[in-house]
Amino acid sequence: MSLADDRLLERSKAGDVEAFAQLISQYEKKVYTIAYRFMGNHEDASDLAQEAMLKAYRSIKKFRGDASFKTWLYHITANVCRDELRRRSKRRETSLDEPLFFENDEVPKQTADWTNVPERVYENKELQGYLHGLIKALTPEYRMVIVMREIQGLSYEEIARQLDCSLGTVKSRLSRARKALKDKIVADREQSGEIRRLNK
């Protein structure tokens, strides 16, 4: 954190909204992205990303600085989103034996162009939308570990701590979620290849 940021932080602790707004503007996009991957749609993402920043503003006096401000802010964001997801699924715990990864028919239809993949994930908006749709279709338990690991880049220990579950649970949930996503991707790609072959 730079000197300027330090000063912004000090002013934010004194309740200065302008300073706080300036401080968080650099992390806004990432906070929004985390919320968007967790919640799946822009409306909820906007609401919860803002909620997270409000929460940070309310509790900034308690921010000690032993973690970086950025980490602290992302942590709050993930917390707010998880709470909301849990509230919505009304504690409907999925057991590990339950074969269902995707909720009913929200699974995205195959629309992506798979030529030159995945080198071109960056330039491929369709593919990005398709992958987002896959994450969104995961049940909350699996979506959470995927977002925390692949989007937030947290360690297994950190995920276990935040979800209040064992390392083993994190390992197996992550493994199952990744496999489900992979199976879907592989199947879709094969199908799209076949369609192209038929079209030729």
Partner 1 sequence: MACQEYQELLSAYIDEVLTEEEQRRLEKHLEQCSDCRQELENLKETVVMLQSLDEVEPPAEFRQQLRQRLEAEQTRLTVERPSLVSRLMRSPWLPLSVAAMLVLFVVAVFGINMFVPRVGSMPKADRGGALQKAAPEMDIAEQRAEYSKAKENGIAREQELALDNKSTVPTEEKQFERKVIQRANFTVQVENVPAAEQKLRSLTGRLGGYVQSASIGKRDADHYYAHLTLRVPQEKFNAAVAEIKQLGEVINFSSGGEDVTRQYYDTEARLKVMKEEEESLLKLLEKAGKLEDIMQVRRELSRVRQEIEVMESELKRLDHLTSLATIDVSLQQQEVPDDQISTKSVGGVWSRAVQAFILSTNRLIKGLGELVVGLAALLPVLLLGIIVLVVIAIVKFTQRGNSE
Binding footprint of partner 1 on the chain (CB under 8 A): 2-4, 7, 15, 17, 20-21, 25-26, 28-30, 32-33, 36-37, 42, 45-46, 49-50, 53-54, 57-58, 117-119, 121-122, 127-128, 131-132, 135, 146, 149-151, 153, 156, 171-172, 174-175, 178-179, 181-182, 185-186
Q: Which of residues 92 and 118 has its CB atom nearest to partner 1 in the complex?
A: 118
Number of H helices, E strands in the chain: 9, 0
- Cα–Cα distance for residue pair 24/9, rounded to 1 Å: 10
Count Cβ atoms within 10 A of the Cβ of residue 5 and give its class: 0-12 exposed, 13-18 middle, 19 or more buried.
middle
Query: Contact at 8 Å (CB) between 48 and 39?
Result: yes
| In the complex, least distance from residue 192 CB atom to partner 1, rounded to whole angstroms | 15
Count Cβ atoms within 10 A of the Cβ of residue 143 and give its class: 0-12 exposed, 13-18 middle, 19 or more buried.
buried
| In the complex, least distance from residue 145 CB atom to partner 1, rounded to whole angstroms | 10
- Cα–Cα distance for residue pair 186/101, rounded to 1 Å: 16
Q: Which of residues 31 and 85 has its CB atom nearest to partner 1 in the complex?
A: 31
Amino acid identity, position 59: S
Q: Which of residues 32 and 69 has its CB atom nearest to partner 1 in the complex?
A: 32
Q: Which of residues 96 and 198 has its CB atom nearest to partner 1 in the complex?
A: 96
| In the complex, least distance from residue 159 CB atom to partner 1, rounded to whole angstroms | 11
| In the complex, least distance from residue 54 CB atom to partner 1, rounded to whole angstroms | 6
